Amino acid sequence: MAEYGHRKVALITGGTRGIGAAISRRLTAAGVAVAMLYRDRADEAEALVAELTAAGAEALAMQADVSDLASLSAAIDGVANRFGGLDILVNNAGLGIAGPLADYSADAFDRVFAVNVRAPFHAAQKAAALMPDGGRIVTIGSIVASRAPGAGVALYAASKSALAGLTRGLARDLGDRGITVNLVQPGPIDTERNPADGPNAADNRAPLAIRRHGRAEEVAELVAYLVSDAAGFVTGAVYDIDGGWSA
């Protein structure tokens, strides 16, 4: 298990479902106090809080729309005030709009980039101002940024591609404080959004060297390493966890 030194506080956007929930479980298991932002499905969020606290963890779920900068900023302040600081930010919340190019609505670009690019930037800006030196920022992207699987993903791929540049730039901006910034790009992961037995599952697995869907827990293990003390010299890096999709 990765080592974290003194008690750490983590904020995970989209932290109550799928990959985000797996990250929340993994970090609380390591003794990290976790605040999870969610947009809707409050019952599921509260159920996860109950699960984690029953296991002895410090956990909090807060409703926030990351595409609304005032809501996002207030949530980050609320987390820091509640737990007495902030050490780790995991930008996991994402929005996917896919389909034929001619069918995109006029606001599709703004909606996708507001969640997938603008929110991680502003969350990092806000969180870095609250973090001590040696903090950690990890963003969850997508392997679609490196290899589009087919038609209909132009907008989503563009938004996820922007995260590599953002990660490298933030790593330079924050390096003198020892704050690391890294990007994790999962391939097909068995979640509600992309189930291993779903209608597109076989096509998803076709490009892989390891012909199965990944598990959310596998992504969480990588994130746990990147936010640990052991990863203090790892920054500006892009990690593909994709079963060989990009090989």
Per-residue confidence in pLDDT tens, the chain, 247 aa: 455 556 899 999 999 999 999 999 999 999 999 999 999 899 999 999 999 999 999 999 999 999 999 999 999 999 999 999 999 999 999 999 999 999 999 999 999 999 999 999 999 999 999 999 999 999 999 999 998 888 889 999 999 999 999 999 999 999 999 999 999 999 999 998 888 888 888 888 988 999 999 999 999 999 999 999 999 999 999 999 999 998 8
Measured CA to CA, the distance from residue 77 to residue 75 in angstroms comes to: 5
- Integer angstrom CA distances of residue 118 from 12, 70, 89, 112: 16, 13, 15, 9
Is 156 an active-site residue? yes
Question: What CA–CA distance (Å, rounded) separates 210 from 25?
Answer: 25
Residue 136 exposure: Cα atoms within 13 Å on the Cβ side: 25
pLDDT at 2: 53
Q: Between the CA of residue 89 and those of 37, 108, 140, 213, what are the distances in Å?
A: 11, 26, 11, 26
Domain total of the chain: 1
Indicate whether 210 belongs to any domain: yes
Left, alpha or beta for 56 (phi > 0: left; psi -120 to 50: alpha)?
Answer: left
Write the CATH number for 19. Answer: 3.40.50.720
d(CA 178, CA 171): 9
Residue for token digits 């080592």? 3
Q: Does residue 3 belong to any structural domain of this protein? A: no
Domain range for 115 is 9-241
Is there a domain that residue 209 lies in? Answer: yes
- What CA–CA distances, in Å, run from 170 to 163, 214, 235? 10, 28, 9
Q: Is the residue at 247 inside a domain? A: no
Catalytic residue among 4, 38, 104, 156: 156
2 within some domain = no
In a domain, 246, yes or no: no
Cα separation, 101 vs 112, in Å, equals 14
Q: Is residue 84 part of a domain?
A: yes
